[in-house]
């Protein structure tokens, strides 16, 4: 045990990567640790010919991962889009780990990300004493990746100010990074590429310029496709979180989780699960992560103020809070949902009453 709170992907799954590399006989693009096929298997999981089992890192459509891997194989940059909580960073980390064996060349995009973090900075003490030199240069993760032929990762691309974003254009199209101060440049070695992630709810924050956008292939990571898939994710995550918080409550009842996930999915889709009735959607995202927090919250309430069992009353408060983000419009949405959908379901009587009480 390393005592680390969290290990990098390439460390945590080193055994799987090694096993894949051993059995992988297909053609590898230059400087790739694995063939595109093996990368796909690493992400989606599967059984190798020698019987070794690869655990799935991403549960979802095979098509999406194939497009992502094929994009990186054509040396085009990859942009992963999705609402918060759809495993964008998770996929990007594992792609980098599987392809370059290194997921640490990471830039976290913020409103304060400056050009230096993408290109290079200076060690000013050295710059002052020695003048501009290779030694005084502080390379960015992108520069390191270019030199080594690895993948660089950019988190939250749309939060970076637009003028800084555009620094990427020449790196992505000409694969060079000029250093005018030293009258030199860094030319990318084969295998270099960029994976960026962005949140498509915040599209308006710093929309990509069309020139930059054109240099990315965009892959949208969707919310979980089926009810069962999402219930499974919520259940396992909330059980794990409950353990971490040392809640004395019983593990959450599957039925209650199923109900919450159903509400989230129906409101998100603007349609009931049976596809018969249309609904309005609230302004919030209602991601899986929020469903997990509703369950968690309810569990805490049940443990400390209730009988330890997750009941409708315990989740009602969390539900209302998660759904109603805009006090006027979302409230109408929620009331309509309660009156036209929740009320109709006989086995939802308790939940309907509990939610109704919260509104009054």
Q: Which residues make Cβ contacts (< 8 Å) with residue 275, sequence separation at least 6?
A: none
Residue with smaller CB distance to another protein, 31 or 277: 277
- Kindly state the helix (H) or strand (E) to which residue 47 belongs, with its residue range: strand 46-47
Q: Which of 8, 45, 76, 229 binds another protein (CB under 8 A)?
A: 76
Contact between 17 and 93 (Cβ < 8 Å): no
Q: Are strands 193-199 and 151-155 parallel, antiparallel or unpaired?
A: parallel
Contact between 282 and 326 (Cβ < 8 Å): yes
Give least dist CB 86 to another protein, A: 12
Q: Which of 237, 343, 353, 356 binds another protein (CB under 8 A)?
A: 343
What residues numbered 290-329 form the site for another protein, per CB under 8 A? 328-329
Give least dist CB 28 to another protein, A: 13
Q: Which of 20, 34, 81, 261 binds another protein (CB under 8 A)?
A: 81
Q: Which residues make Cβ contacts (< 8 Å) with residue 188, sequence separation at least 6?
A: 146, 147, 149, 171, 175, 176, 177
Contact between 45 and 55 (Cβ < 8 Å): yes
**Dist CA 138 CA 186 (whole Å):** 13
Q: Annotate each residue in 190-229 with x if it binds another protein (CB under 8 A) or - if it does not, as one string.
A: --------------------x--xx-xxxxx---------
Buried b (16+ CB within 10 A) or exposed e, 186-212: bebeebbbbbbbbbbeeeeebebeeeb
Stretch that binds another protein, among 1-9, 130-138, 291-299, 333-341 (CB under 8 A): 333-341
Residue with smaller CB distance to another protein, 312 or 338: 338
Q: Which of 22, 190, 280, 304 binds another protein (CB under 8 A)?
A: 280
Q: Which of 38, 79, 320, 355 binds another protein (CB under 8 A)?
A: 79
Of 95, 113, 111, the closest CA to residue 103 belongs to: 95
Q: Does the footprint of another protein cover residue 358 (CB under 8 A)?
A: no
Residue with smaller CB distance to another protein, 184 or 329: 329
| Residues found near another protein in the complex (CB under 8 A) | 36-37, 40, 63, 66-67, 69-71, 73-74, 76, 79, 81, 210, 213-214, 216-220, 270, 276-280, 328-329, 332, 335-336, 339-340, 343-344, 346
């Amino acid at each position: 045990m390393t005592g680390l709170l969290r290990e990098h992907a390439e460390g945590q799954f080193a055994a799987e990567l090694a096993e894949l590399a051993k059995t992988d006989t297909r053609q590898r693009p230059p400087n790739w640790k694995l063939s595109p096929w093996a990368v796909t298997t690493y992400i989606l999981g599967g059984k190798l010919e020698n019987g070794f089992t690869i655990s799935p890192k991403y549960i979802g459509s095979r098509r999406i991962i194939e497009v992502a891997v094929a994009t990186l194989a054509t040396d085009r940059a990859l942009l992963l889009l999705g609402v918060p909580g759809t495993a964008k960073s998770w996929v990007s980390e594992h792609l980098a780990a599987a392809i370059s064996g290194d997921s640490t060349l990471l830039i976290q995009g913020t409103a304060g990300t400056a050009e230096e973090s993408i290109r290079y900075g200076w060690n000013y003490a050295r710059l002052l004493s020695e003048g501009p030199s290779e030694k005084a240069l502080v390379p960015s993760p992108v520069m390191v990746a270019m030199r080594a032929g690895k993948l660089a990762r950019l988190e939250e691309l749309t939060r970076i100010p637009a003028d800084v974003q555009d620094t990427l254009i020449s790196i992505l199209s000409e694969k060079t990074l000029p250093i005018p101060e030293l009258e030199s440049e860094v030319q990318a070695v084969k295998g270099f590429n960029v994976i960026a992630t962005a949140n498509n709810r915040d599209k308006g924050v710093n929309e990509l310029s069309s020139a930059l956008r054109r240099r990315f292939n965009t892959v949208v990571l969707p919310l979980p496709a089926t009810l069962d898939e999402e219930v499974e994710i919520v259940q396992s995550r909330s059980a794990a979180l409950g353990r971490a918080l040392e809640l004395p409550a019983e593990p959450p009842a599957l039925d209650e989780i199923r109900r919450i996930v159903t509400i989230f999915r129906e409101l998100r889709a603007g349609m009931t699960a049976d596809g018969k009735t249309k609904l309005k959607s609230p302004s919030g995202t209602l991601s899986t992560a929020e469903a997990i927090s509703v369950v968690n919250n309810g569990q805490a309430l049940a443990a400390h103020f209730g009988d330890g069992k997750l009941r409708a009353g315990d989740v009602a408060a969390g539900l209302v809070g998660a759904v109603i983000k805009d006090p006027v419009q979302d409230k109408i949405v929620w009331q309509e949902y309660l009156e036209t959908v929740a009320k109709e379901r006989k086995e939802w009587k308790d939940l309907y009453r509990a939610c109704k009480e919260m509104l009054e």
